[in-house]
Amino acid sequence: MFPERLRALRKGQKITLKELANHLNEHLGPGEKPNTASQIGNWERGIRTPSYIEARKLAEFFNVSLDYLTGKTDRNDFDLAKLFFSNKDLLFNNTVLSSDDRYEIFQLIDGYLKGRTNRHDTDKFYGKQEQLDLKLK
């Protein structure tokens, strides 16, 4: 499952094996060896398996969970609340959101979800009323 997911994620972003290797090599830790295109190709073909550190770097690069990348889950769920409180820059229409913006948007979404149950009760009430025919005769 891992080789297929890795290949699909890479091809979905339209990047070559060499480009992916370069991205993974941008933040090498002490003692880490640089990744190569052939190494990643071997991962995609299932010939070799990446280390935990390499798999984590892949998951972070593609912004997916390790569970999704390794095939443990078919869904790639991500809690939006965690994203609002992460250190990652968030953009909306190419505008970086400040921490105040992030907090206000979080509050709006939270309020919307909490108020959703009340809206369903009013839908039942308004759904029983007759609709007015406003066409002119």
Q: Write down the residue that tokens 């080789």 correspond to.
A: 3
Out of 3.40.50.720, 1.10.260.40, 1.10.10.10, 3.40.190.10, the CATH code matching 2-77 is 1.10.260.40
- Tokens coding 55: 């798999």
- Tokens coding 61: 């690069």
Contact 28, 34 (CB under 8 A): yes
* Interval 24-72: pLDDT, tens: 998 888 888 999 999 999 999 999 999 998 999 999 998 888 888 988 8
Mean pLDDT of the chain: 83
Q: What percent of the chain has pLDDT over 90?
A: 35
Whether pLDDT at 13 is above 80: yes
Query: What confidence score (pLDDT) does residue 77 get?
Result: 62
Whether pLDDT at 10 is above 60: yes
How is the chain split into domains, by residue range?
2-77, 82-127
Among left, alpha and beta (phi > 0; psi -120 to 50; other), residue 117 is alpha
Query: What confidence score (pLDDT) does residue 124 get?
Result: 56
